[in-house]
């Protein structure tokens, strides 16, 4: 019988670890956090040094009871939550909730047999510095969210609003970028190039204009461009100089959380939230031919460190696949991210020898794509630099100097497995053999009008990069922040780029006016630094909260008095709702602009903005019929659900009458009357399939079996 208990966070992790430990161990999952601040109320005793009032999460009460029984029968209890602040806090909450007298904390960066057994051999005590840093963050977020969110809901007259230290700054960055774009004024410029060839049957090449009479070429209008083109068409050309260099391109660093999210977004089209969910699956363990095994190291990290054993294994794989000359020296480290936890490792495969092809049968398509990205990037990070032969040729044509550049890959190095997306070197090939003074023949001159571009809107990936560069947030927070600001309707995705909504602008403006400290990028970054200092034992978490709370509370009191209620204006369109006939206006939600009926909430009809791109999921338009509703007399409309088209009352939600649509004849099937109360019946679907149910439900629960006249694709949900 098992005498030792290991508590992990998830069933998948539990299953993987069970395969590594002996029968003496029982492995159970806590299902994540088990205690938190209460859902209702502040849950923080400010007068008692910000003492948090934790309570069991309702959904975890049964889990805690089961864990308590398992712990009572165990001689030793090991807490094996994730190796970061959140994981340390979960371990501490488990110890407190289960009243464990002497819990043993173990952690591992990868879920492999060797890592787990090594952790069990070297347990430690719970690190209260980490716990206090997490508590300080949680309490800070509660203090801000608990007071700002209700304030916004009242003043903005909108439900489901929220504010937070990091999410509000993220929205601010998106709004600032949008205002830069709105204020941008394009400037005209012209690119001028010539197509040349040496005498004889040589490969032609293109040279771009770079200087005019010794000064940098700046062509700002068509008249100027035309004069230059005329001059170049009449000019004689010769090679003014040739420069050849061999340049090294260093391999990329292995992934950290932010760079994984960025590359998965740009290369695979994955949202950060999806990327982290898939990475969690790969980390916790996948069933392979050799049994369950964790395929990657811990995916919430800001360290580029790689264990010496992993480097050595990677070099062996590289040598076997490509040759010894492709194996790098190893040990390359990038510039440390501010506040990075260097005890952690980068994101890498737990075994470089486990290539993506060997896992094709064990992983689904998304898992395999992400694993391949991680494996390729890690292998590349341990390979030799690429070598590129770069040739630069300068061409003289009177007062004009033109330049051509060509590149040829001399040694692929890391590019054999992983090429940066922006790297185009070697793709266009090199230049023909040329020498100084050599005459050239003109094939043609090209001029192209261009305009300067505004700064690009953030993608989810580039916003993560911006937050990281400013020192805002930490690896575990990026994906939830992005998901939250979209779900709250502050920003929306258009062509994979983030645009603020009117609501996002309005909330940002109000917060910047009344809470400048909260919205200050430098202040938010400094809070992160101080939380790091708490974890390092260099700062006191209660003092941090005291210094924050006084000014914040004063700002809240001022906003309660001074902040005016804001009503979001709707843009009139002249369009009329085809369901109820009321005017339609343009609103902006988390999926972008759309036309909405002013009869909301009685009428919830929406449709795309005319001439605009519909960013919403496709939704068939309701068609008004001349058939009266048998319950209220209003016209029936043809709607569509996931089970197909059906008739519904245009008076919805006041009248919920529906009946199926006869697909073949285009006529409604006559609905029977309820045998109990006489009201019309509506088609519904239950566990056993379609049936007729009384429209008077729940007052009347009369039903009768469906007949063949009831199309299974046209029934509603069981009431």
Catalytic residues: 298
**On the CB side of 472, how many CA atoms lie within 13 Å of its CA?**
25
CA distance 368 to 357: 9
The whole-angstrom separation of Cα 567 and Cα 503 is 10
Query: Contact, 32 vs 10, CB < 8 A?
Result: yes
d(CA 511, CA 30): 38
Give the whole-angstrom CA distance, residue 411 versus residue 177: 40
How far apart CA 438 and CA 211 sit, in angstroms, is: 20
CA distance linking residue 157 with residue 564, whole number of Å: 11
Q: What single DSSP character describes residue 665?
A: T
For the chain, count helices (H), then strands (E).
Answer: 16, 31
Cα–Cα distance measured from residue 53 to residue 143, given in angstroms and rounded to the nearest whole number: 13
The token pair at 337 is 């991210």
Which residue is it, tokens 């360290």?
303
DSSP H/E element including 222: helix 222-234
Spatial CA neighbour of 539 closest among 136, 148, 169, 18: 136
| Structural element, H or E, at residue 689 | strand 689-694
CA count, 13 A, side-chain hemisphere, 589: 15
- The candidate with the shortest Cα–Cα distance to 147, out of 125, 164, 167, is 164
Of residues 630, 625, 582, 628, the one with CA closest to residue 606? 582
Q: Residue 170 CB: number of other CB atoms within 10 A?
A: 27
Q: Which residues contact 147 (CB under 8 A, 6 or more apart)?
A: 552, 556
Contact present, 661 and 711 (Cβ < 8 Å): yes
- Cα separation of 56 and 66, whole Å? 14
**Cα–Cα distance between 401 and 339 in angstroms, integer?**
48
Beta bridge partners of 292: 287
Find how far residue 231's CA is from the centre of its chain: 52
Q: Which residues of 316-344 are buried (b: 16+ CB within 10 A; e: fewer)?
A: ebbeeebeeebbbeeebebeebebbbeeb
Q: List Cβ neighbours of 718 (8 Å cut-off, separation of 6 or more).
A: 684, 685, 686, 687, 693
Q: Where are the alpha helices (DSSP H) in 488-633?
A: 502-514, 521-535, 541-562
Please write down the HEC assignment for all residues of 237-249.
Answer: EEEEEEEEEEEEE
């Amino acid at each position: 019988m098992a005498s030792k208990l290991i508590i992990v966070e998830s069933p998948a992790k539990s299953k993987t670890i069970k395969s590594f430990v002996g029968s003496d161990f029982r492995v159970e999952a806590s299902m994540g956090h088990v205690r938190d601040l209460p859902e209702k109320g502040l849950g923080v005793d400010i007068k008692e040094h910000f003492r948090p009032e934790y309570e069991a999460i309702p959904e975890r009460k049964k889990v805690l009871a089961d864990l308590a029984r398992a712990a009572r029968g165990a001689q030793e209890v090991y807490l094996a939550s994730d190796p970061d602040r959140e994981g340390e806090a979960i371990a501490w909450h488990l110890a407190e909730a289960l009243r464990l007298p002497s819990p043993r904390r173990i952690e591992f960066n990868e879920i492999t047999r060797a890592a787990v057994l090594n952790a069990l051999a070297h347990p430690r005590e719970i690190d209260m510095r980490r716990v206090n840093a997490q508590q300080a963050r949680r309490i800070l977020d509660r203090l801000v969210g608990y007071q700002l969110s209700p304030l916004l809901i009242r003043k903005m007259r909108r439900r489901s609003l929220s504010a937070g230290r990091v999410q509000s700054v993220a929205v601010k960055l998106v709004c600032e970028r949008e205002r830069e774009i709105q204020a941008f004024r394009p400037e005209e410029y012209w690119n001028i190039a010539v197509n040349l060839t040496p005498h004889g049957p040589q490969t032609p090449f293109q040279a771009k204009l770079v200087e005019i009479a010794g000064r940098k070429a700046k062509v700002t209008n068509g008249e100027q461009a035309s004069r230059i083109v005329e001059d170049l068409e009449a000019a004689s050309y010769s090679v003014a100089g040739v420069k050849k260099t061999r340049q090294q391109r260093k391999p990329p660093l292995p992934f950290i959380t932010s760079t994984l999210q960025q590359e998965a977004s740009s290369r695979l089209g994955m949202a950060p939230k999806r990327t982290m969910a898939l990475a969690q699956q790969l980390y916790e363990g996948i069933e392979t031919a050799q049994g369950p095994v964790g395929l990657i190291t811990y995916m919430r990290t800001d360290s580029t460190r790689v264990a010496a054993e992993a480097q050595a294994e990677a070099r062996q794989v590289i040598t076997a696949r490509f040759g010894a000359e492709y194996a790098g020296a190893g040990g390359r480290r990038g510039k440390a991210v501010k506040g990075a936890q260097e005890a952690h490792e980068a994101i890498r495969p737990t075994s470089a020898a486990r290539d993506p092809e060997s896992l094709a049968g064990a992983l689904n398509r998304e898992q395999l794509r992400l694993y391949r990205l991680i494996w390729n990037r890690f292998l590349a990070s341990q390979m030799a630099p690429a070598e590129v032969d770069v040739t630069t040729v300068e061409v003289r044509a009177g007062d004009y100097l033109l330049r051509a550049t060509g590149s040829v890959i001399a040694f692929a190095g890391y590019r054999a497995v992983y090429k940066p997306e922006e790297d185009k070197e070697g793709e266009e090939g090199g230049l023909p053999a040329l020498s100084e003074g050599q005459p050239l023949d003109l094939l043609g001159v090209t001029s192209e009008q261009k305009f300067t571009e505004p700064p690009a809107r953030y993608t989810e990936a580039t916003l993560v990069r911006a937050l990281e560069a400013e020192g805002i947030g930490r690896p575990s927070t990026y994906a939830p922040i992005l998901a939250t600001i979209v779900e709250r309707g502050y920003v929306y995705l258009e062509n994979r780029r983030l645009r603020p909504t009117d609501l996002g602008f309005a909330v940002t403006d109000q917060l910047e006016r009344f809470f400048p400290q909260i919205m200050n990028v430098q202040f938010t970054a400094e809070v992160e630094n101080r939380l790091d200092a708490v974890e390092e034992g260099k700062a006191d978490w209660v003092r941090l909260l005291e210094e924050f709370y006084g000014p914040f509370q004063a700002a809240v009191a001022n906003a309660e008095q001074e902040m005016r209620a804001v009503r979001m204006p709707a843009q009139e369109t002249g369009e009329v709702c085809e369901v109820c006939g009321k005017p339609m206006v343009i609103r902006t939600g988390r999926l972008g602009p759309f036309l909405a009926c002013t009869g909301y909430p009685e009428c919830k009809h929406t449709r795309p903005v005319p001439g605009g791109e519909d960013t919403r999921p496709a939704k068939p338009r309701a068609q008004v019929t001349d058939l009266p509703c048998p319950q209220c007399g209003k016209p029936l409309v043809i709607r569509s659900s996931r089970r197909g088209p059906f008739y519904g009352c245009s008076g919805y939600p006041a009248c919920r009458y529906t009946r199926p649509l006869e697909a073949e004849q285009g006529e409604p099937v006559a609905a029977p009357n309820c045998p109990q109360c006489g009201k019309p019946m509506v088609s519904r679907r239950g566990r056993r399939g379609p049936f007729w149910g009384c429209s008077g439900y729940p007052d009347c629960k009369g039903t009768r079996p469906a007949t063949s006249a009831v199309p299974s694709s046209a029934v509603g949900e069981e009431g």
